[in-house]
Structures are given as C-alpha cells and as structure tokens.
Amino acid sequence: MAEENKPAEQETAETAAENTTSSGLALPAFYGVKAGMTRIFDEAGNHVPVTVIKLINNYVSQVKTTEKDGYEAYQIAYGAKRGKLVNKPTKGRLAKAKIEEFNTKFSELRTEGVDEANLGKTLSLDEFPAATMVDVTGTSKGRGFQGVIKRWNFACGPMSHGSKFHRTGGSIGNRATPGRVWKNKKMPGHMGVVKKTIQNLQVVEVNQDKGYMLIKGSVPGSKNGFVRIAKAIKK
C-alpha cells in the first residue's frame, strides 16, 4: 500500500510545485548570481560555451504607485544572508512585505499596471524559456590602476634597445592652444568595476529544479557576482 501511495504523493508534490511557480509574478527582468562558465554540446555535437547563472529568489518588497510615489514600479529584494548580518531597518522592510528571507539587495523594475496584491510574491521565470534573447547587466572585474596600452588598447612604441618610448602615453596636449588637457582624455587610471551590459545573449537551458540557467557566451562580472537578466530590447 505504501508503494501504491508513493506515486500519488509525488504527483501531489509536483502539482504543488507547479502551482507555486505559476503563482509567481512574471516580470521582464530578474536577478541571479554568476556561478562561472562551462561548455555543453548541442544536438548536432557542436561545442557551445555557456555561463552558468545560479537562480535565487526574487521577492517584491515594495510596490511603487503613481498616487504615492509619482511612478509605477516594483521594488525587488534578493541576495539572502544570515539574519545576524542584516540590520534592523532592513528586517523591518522585509517583515512589512511578509518576506521570511533576509535579503540585502534591493532594486526597482519599472512596469505599468502594478498591483499592491503582488507584495511579497516571488518572481516567476515563465518569461525566460530556452531560446529567449536576453540582455545581461553586471559589474565588470576590477583591474586596478592600468596604463593606456591595457586600459585603452594604445599601440606600443619601439621595443628595441635604445628607444625611450615603450609603453608611455605620449603627448596629451597641443602647445598654448588650448593650453590645457581636454576632459575625458584617455589616460592611465583605474580600470574595471563599472556597470556593463551585454546585449542579445541566448538562453540555452533553464533548470528550476536544480536552480540554474545556462546563457550562451560570457557575461560581465566575476564569480558569485549579481547580474540582472532582462528581455532583450533590440530583438
């Protein structure tokens, strides 16, 4: 009898999981974690490099309305941590939305026709099946202080013995006119740690049971960094 009831129990659990997924709020963007890169082989045996995105819970922590805030948007909470690492104001914000996880990252997704009944709901991935084109935004890796050759791809000078111009920047101005260095001149400086967006990447696979998504190609940022995945605006 136990073996006969086991499939029925599994069906009930699967049905409950499907209902939970379907009850989530579908928005044109969500947040995940870059887990690294690997490769897969498609049906034709072709090698496909992919980025692995770890799927994390995204909650609606606040609903912005035109009457109260002047615009419509959903505030999304993600990036769960241990409770002892979260301050009391953040815990209060999450408790007000009836979110049990202690999330520390917040961002807004503007959309039309917001509903305050969606407060506390999780985001659904129904809008991101395989073969969907997406734009991925993240913070690029930090490279520290770099010269113009690495930072701006300048050409080197003669590398032979006797040359005194190897990897320097060269002239940065022109005589008494204008008598100063133009703004935004490409010079040595801090490289990386900027917001970058890679457009028109393809979703290869979405596995919600194991909690990962595969996106063809590379995305900005280092491992364990947060990325924003949105519907492609140019497709």
What are the tens digits of pLDDT across the range 38-48?
A: 999 998 999 99
CATH number at residue 96: 3.30.160.810
User: Can you tell me whether residue 18 is helix, strand or coil?
Assistant: helix
Predicted TM-score (pTM) of the model is 0.82
Q: Which amino acid is at 221?
A: G
Supply the pLDDT for residue 23: 58
Query: Strand 59-64 vs strand 73-81: parallel, antiparallel, or unpaired?
Result: antiparallel
Supply the pLDDT for residue 51: 97
Query: Strand 123-124 vs strand 25-26: parallel, antiparallel, or unpaired?
Result: parallel
197 and 159, same structural domain?
no
Query: Strand 29-41 vs strand 226-231: parallel, antiparallel, or unpaired?
Result: antiparallel
Total domains, the chain: 3
203 lies in which domain range? 25-56+126-141+193-235
Nearest one of 214, 206, 195 to 50, comparing CA atoms: 214
CATH number at residue 39: 2.40.30.10
Rounded-to-integer distance, Cα 131 and Cα 143, Å: 33
pLDDT, average across residues 197-212: 96
Q: Which amino acid is at 4?
A: E
112 and 72, same structural domain?
yes
Residue 148 domain flag: yes
Q: What is the mean pLDDT of the chain?
A: 90
Residue length of the chain: 235
Percent of the chain with pLDDT over 90: 84
135 and 46, same structural domain?
yes
